[in-house]
Amino acid sequence: MQIQPILTALRKHRLATMLIALEIALACAVLCNACFLIVNRVQQTRVISGVDESALAAIKLTGYDPARGVDLNARVLSGLAKIPGVQSVSAINQVPFGDHAGTAGITTDPEGKRFGGVVDFYVGGPGSFKALGVQLVAGRVPQPGEYQPVDFFVPDDSAVWVTRVLAEHLWPGVDPLGKEFWTGKFHFRVAGVLAHLARPYGGEGGPSTIEWSVYVPAQPGAQLAAVYLLRADPARLPQVLRDARAAMATIAPDAVLDSKASQTIGSLRENYFRQDRVMAGILVGVIAALLLVTALGIVGLASFWVQQRRRQIGVRRALGATRGDILRYFQTENFLIVSGGIALGMVLAFGLNLMLMQHYELPRLPLYYLPVGALALWVLGQLAVLGPALRAAAVPPVVATRSV
């Protein structure tokens, strides 16, 4: 089919052609970035916590006298251990998908000149390392003598366990065992490497930092109190948690149970990523609505042009054009309009992505989203124009000629 007659016809309808092309361009830009955001959100919800989520729950207390933290720990640890089904209970400062309690910047030199990033410190009492179920890939497990008292924030001069991701960031290509780092005056030595351990509330520096975690063994006390890690059989964990929450009124009447934070780790994950799932659903709705509006615009324009060109269609049919010729004409015309819109839309897609990167710290839009978005819009355009094109092709030559 000759393209030149189609382009000539489109030049006679510049405004309508331009409006549809702009609609396609906008749809392309939004479609590519919305799909990227959806995939990004879904990937975030699948983050590996590194702990045995199905067997763990957290109990958090507030409103207690900090000076009586030692007594509170003794009562709670003893009371929770007596609940049927509890396999272990230990003090810890935070849990994955829970509240932040140990975030600090670190350096790889005592002078504080080589900044290593902002990490999360999991400060755990005896039994917490085993209860978490973390996977050790290098080094050894904490020894009883390494659980030191906490005077402020974390124990000083302590052996610690870092994640593989954090170790590679701090000392790329080097064995991290025995390496040292500091946070202010506190000094740490790496005694082991963990496969995974997600930060409580994700990575402030983006998805790549979500496993910048450090485990520090410590003794429960005034600075390590009120958050407790329960481990139980996964089948019995919900009942164990209910019993533990109910027992707090008797075990610790001088403290207030934080119901929102006292959940299974699975529930904390569910609550943490709820907004991401809602956002993904909203974006799916936006994409569906945008594609529907785009399709309706193409259908409306094609139907209008079919009505305007009835005489032209009739003349072509009378001169021997087949129904297939008429059908291909409208499909080619639509393909050219959509292609022009897609070309502009790809530029807009990158512009929109740059804005999102600047204001929302999103990564750069991968190039493969552009051909996927283009293919989707080409298919949508051909399907949208098919109905009007079939109606045009079905008009008998005599009827079309006499209708004008």
CA distances from 275 to 43, 44, 46, 271, 281 (A): 14, 11, 14, 8, 10
State yes or no: pLDDT of 118 exceeds 80.
yes
Task: Please report, for the chain, the start and end positions of each structural domain, with discontinuous segments joined by +.
Answer: 4-45+275-402, 64-254
Q: What is the pTM of this model?
A: 0.79
Going by pLDDT thresholds of 50, 70 and 90, the confidence category of residue 404 is: very low
For 63, other C-beta atoms within 10 Å of its C-beta total 11
Q: Which of 205, 196, 206, 165 minimizes the C-alpha distance to 40?
A: 206
pLDDT digits (tens, 9 = 90+) for 32-54: 999 998 998 888 888 899 999 99
Note the pLDDT of residue 4: 67
Q: Which of 158, 147, 48 minimizes the C-alpha distance to 90?
A: 147
Note the pLDDT of residue 205: 57
Is 80 within 8 Å of 247 (Cβ atoms)?
yes
Going along 92-246, which residue ranges are E strands?
Answer: 103-107, 115-124, 136-139, 158-163, 180-183, 186-194, 213-217, 227-232
Is 287 within 8 Å of 34 (Cβ atoms)?
yes
Q: Read off the amino acid at residue 188.
A: F
Stretch 278-297: mean pLDDT, rounded?
92
Is 341 within 8 Å of 24 (Cβ atoms)?
yes
pLDDT digits (tens, 9 = 90+) for 332-391: 888 888 999 999 999 999 898 888 888 776 788 898 999 999 999 999 999 898 888 888
Note the pLDDT of residue 105: 93
For 223, other C-beta atoms within 10 Å of its C-beta total 18
CA dist 137 and 159 (Å) reads: 16
What are the strands of the beta sheet with 227-232, ordered from one edge?
Answer: 86-91, 227-232, 56-62, 256-257
State yes or no: pLDDT of 204 exceeds 60.
no
